[in-house]
Chains A and B, each alone.
Chain A
Amino acid sequence: MTGRLGGAVERAVQTHAARMAAAVVVLVMAFLWVPIAVLVFMSFAAGGVLSFPPDELTLRWYRVFLSNDAAIDAIVTTLTISIPATAISVVLSTMIAYAVDRYVFRGRDWLQLLATLPIIVPLVVTGVAMVLFFNGTLGLPDYVSVVIAHVIRTIPFATLVILPTFLTFDRGLEEASKDLGADELRTFRQVTLPNVFPGVVAGGLLAFTLSFNEFVYTYFVKGSGDPTLPVYIWNQIRYDVTPEVNVISVVFLLVAVSMVLVAVWLTRVDLLAKR
């Protein structure tokens, strides 16, 4: 970038940088949010088929959805998997965070690696491996397999949120507690846990959100039993599109957005970015 042309480019960038940045932010935000707005909008469309713009607005599809047993059953099925999976995942992730933060032991790096890998290995590969091993080799019942799959799927994300709260925790408080004669278990219960609790809850909320939306592992591991909500939608989309899916989408959006907002409120959003 030398000579007059380079200088001209540099000056142009210098002058318009802020405007270009604003344009980038606006355009990308539109790209991210317009599809979601479209979904919400379509759920009120009277036409039923995917026409745009819709003729008139209605709550009809919400009524259809609420009186549809299959969809409601799918939600119940999803919850019976997500709630226990989240609980197990949070406990295990907290143990990982505690161990990685407090103890120096052989295999600590491996533990961190193992807790990160499920994010990295393509979902389809892990899903296939799980169906081979859980259903093929171990012969586990579907329900147990799916819950385990969800635990594995959510551990990396829960750990990612919980670990920083341990790292930023003031150890001096623990030292004080121990100086006052409390042992490690009691210190954890009465000093550490209350302090890291917001982070643990945030990790749990994100794990739950992920589990509630989980599709790939469930799709492979779960047999032909009751579908979870994402699997139900997948079947709907592939065979016959019904406007009901728009409504379910809105339900999903509300669950996800509220969970994440609470999680962010509990921790700080930049913790998710600062690894």
Chain B
Amino acid sequence: MAGRSDATGESAATGRVDALVESAGGRLDDLAAYFRERPRLRTLAVAGPPYATLVLFFAVPLLAMLVVSFQTGSIGGPWTLSNYAEFLGSEIYLTVVWRTLLVSLQVTAIVSIVGYALAYSIVRFSRRTTLLLLLVILPFWTSYIIRMYAWINILQSDGVLDSTLNAVGLPALGLLYSGPAVLIGFTYVWLPLAVLPFYASLTNMDPDLIEASKDLGAGPVRTFASVTLPTTINGVVTGVVLVFIPTFGSFITPRLLGGTNNIMIGMVIENQFKSAFNWPFGAAIGMVISVVVVALLVLGTRLGGGLFDTGGGEA
């Protein structure tokens, strides 16, 4: 790409630019040659920057949180176990953890059943699967808060749901700020996310297995229970993990749809950082959540979820 001079003749300037471009090009070739002879350095140059970014700005902050959770009052205070003692010794907080666990399990169960039924219906019985899948995942890409706001519109007293019920002569429910509202909100948010791994595992399944099962005289229900479900269990586990974990840490949905009677652990953390300003205590609660989540992940991968199998490499 050297700047060729035009018919007006060579000015000194273009000559200099030419020389610069030449030498830059030469240098780039040298650089390429340098890397070609050093494959390990080449790998470092490509993998290093993203690696460093993820370690420094993702892994290290999580470790910093662990450190802070053992400090008192403010960051850099004296070492202590009091944050954990205060949390684990409080009946109120443990009740919140218990409620969070129950809600997360309920949400995971609902989303798994509905999501699997949907994925199964799309894969086995629908034409235009791509369009349907697109319709399922599109809502996932819209703002989480907006999606919660839509449900506020629907569930509040005199909202869309109650007006509709009244119109057909049924009593209003006034669901907003209740347990069911939280379940509906979570189901709405996570359903698209869970359908993806279900869909993937059902599509990748060998259809001959189903044929074989039917040839051996099993009906559709028995075929599903003894062939389809066991074969797609990896996808199920992945979906379960993808739903359970974010639900366990969520604060937006319970805050906007659950009100004061449905406090979840994520709300407690948010409160420590946004109103109480007790960061070490908030960090300790964050660690408690992480421990629960990691324990469940280990359990999940034991059950055989291909969670980290993002494709690639020699599987």
Contact = CB atoms under 8 A, between A and B. Distances in A.
Task: Say whether A associates with B.
Answer: yes
Interface of A: 1, 6-7, 9-11, 13-14, 17-18, 20-22, 24-25, 28-29, 31-33, 35-36, 38-39, 42, 50-53, 92-93, 95-103, 105, 107-109, 111-126, 128-134, 136-137, 148-149, 151-152, 155, 159-160, 163-164, 166-167, 183-186, 206, 209-210, 213, 215-216, 220, 230, 233-234, 237-238, 241, 245, 248-249, 252-253, 256-257, 259-260, 264, 268-270, 272-275
B135 interface: yes
A152 B191 contact: no
A206 B137 CA distance: 12
B156 interface: yes
A28 B134 CA distance: 13
B58 A132 contact: no
B-side binding surface: helix, strand, loop or mixed?
helix
A132 B68 contact: yes
A167 B311 contact: yes
Given A39-B149, A51-B158, A160-B310, A132 B289 contact: no
Interface string B239-256: 001100110111110001
A124 B266 contact: yes
A270 B203 contact: yes
A-side binding surface: helix, strand, loop or mixed?
helix
B174 interface: no
Interface in B226-249: 241-242, 245-246, 248-249
Contacts of B49: 92, 95
A249 B222 contact: no
A252 B143 contact: yes
B149 A249 contact: yes
A201 B50 CA distance: 18
B286 A125 contact: yes
A97 B46 CA distance: 10
Nearest to A105: B43
A116 B139 contact: no
Given A22-B121, A29-B135, A124-B251, A111 B65 contact: no
